[in-house]
Amino acid sequence: MEKQVTAIILLLSIFVSAETLHGQDQAKWVRQRSKMVSTAIISAGVKNIRVVNSMRTTLRHEFVPIPFRDNSYLDMSLPIGGKQTISAPFVVAYMTEALDPQPEDKVLEIGTGSGYQAAVLSPLVKSVYTIEIVQELAEQAASDLARLKYENVYPRHGDGFKGWPEHAPFDKIIVTCSPESVPKPLVDQLKEGGLIVIPVGERYQQTLYLLRKENGEMKSEALRPTLFVPMTGAAEDTRQVKPDPANPAITTGIFEEQSGESKSRFVPGWYYQRQSRLVKSKSAPEGEHYLRIANNLPGKHAHLMQGFAIDGGVVPRISLTGRLKYYGLKPGRNSDERPAVVVAFYDSNRKPVGFAMLGPFQGTKDWHEESQEIEVPSIAREAIIRVGLFGGTGTMYIDDLRVTATD
């Protein structure tokens, strides 16, 4: 009898400990989600209160693979398998706000991925029809959405280029992968007066557009530079401009306004821009402009990014070079919040495989050249270059930033 009592007490203690740990985990996620909404969404300009509330209550960590779950509420994309990623929280919030979701809307999503974007949309609209071309991702997302009781989300496996004609027309369409041009089937399946939010362009040079259907014609508004995984299937088969991984290079690293474009508040060719802009000056080391990044609040985002193709099996080394000037640079609250130029490498499944940097920088220094020879991981297939203060404070100016393959 005594042994039975002891066993029962032991089981109860294990149960209570598990419940306590579960409660602690949930409290941790709530804190991290609240910080994410405050620092990466509201402070970045998202104003729609319904969208903000959905971002605050949607459990992003439930859609992130376990190896990357601790990073669930950082404002960054994360690999989910199948050469796909879950978009950064700001991007999800920004696109959702641009879609102007209404309670009676029927929405089509192209690119289910993890299911997170559909989950964010779910409480904002009447129904979400979502298509994923990678079968294992489609099955996993369907399972997770059902487990989390998103009963107005209808996932399926298929090629999103073709849309979902059986349930057309749709009030809104959101596309979370990038074709080179807008697929005609999606236009045909959009209601008159409806909206499409879609990234369009070359593999590493894309623009996020808001399209509106008026009298059968599509009116477009360029929203901001962006970077998404490519739309595969029929869209990829017709892509005209493809990246050259044997010749890695930065686009618009001289930070000039592009000819023929109206003046934009965004730096051309770069995305995820925070507290960054072009400065026109006769003292520019190259051309008429240079990049300015500034921040006076420790921990606040101040950066921009760009992607490029690279095959580490063909290009074993690169040179990263730039001209810099900075004033009063200081690290942020944490040890990793330091101004720098960082190149991160990813494999064919978009998992991180290494990084290198110029910097970190501190203090004050006039224009000078910084250069670094970098070993490229042999399994690298693409790279992201990040330029910023990364939570540090001060002002940094950059010009003539280059990546070149070396022997």
What residues are labeled active site?
Answer: 87
Residue 181 CB partners (closer than 8 Å, separation 6+): 200
Number of other CB atoms surrounding residue 337 within 10 Å: 18
Which one, of 136, 152, 53, 143, lies nearest residue 97 by Cα?
53
Q: What are phi and psi for residue 174, nearest 5 degrees? A: -120, 130
Residue whose structure tokens are 């999503």? 109
Pairing type for strands 217-226 and 393-406 reads unpaired
Which residues, at least 6 apart from 59, have a Cβ–Cβ distance to it below 8 Å? Answer: 29, 33, 119, 148
Yes or no: say if 267 and 277 are a contact pair by the CB < 8 Å rule. yes
The contacts of residue 217 (CB under 8 Å, 6+ apart) are none
Cis peptide, bond prior to residue 377, ω within 30 of zero? no
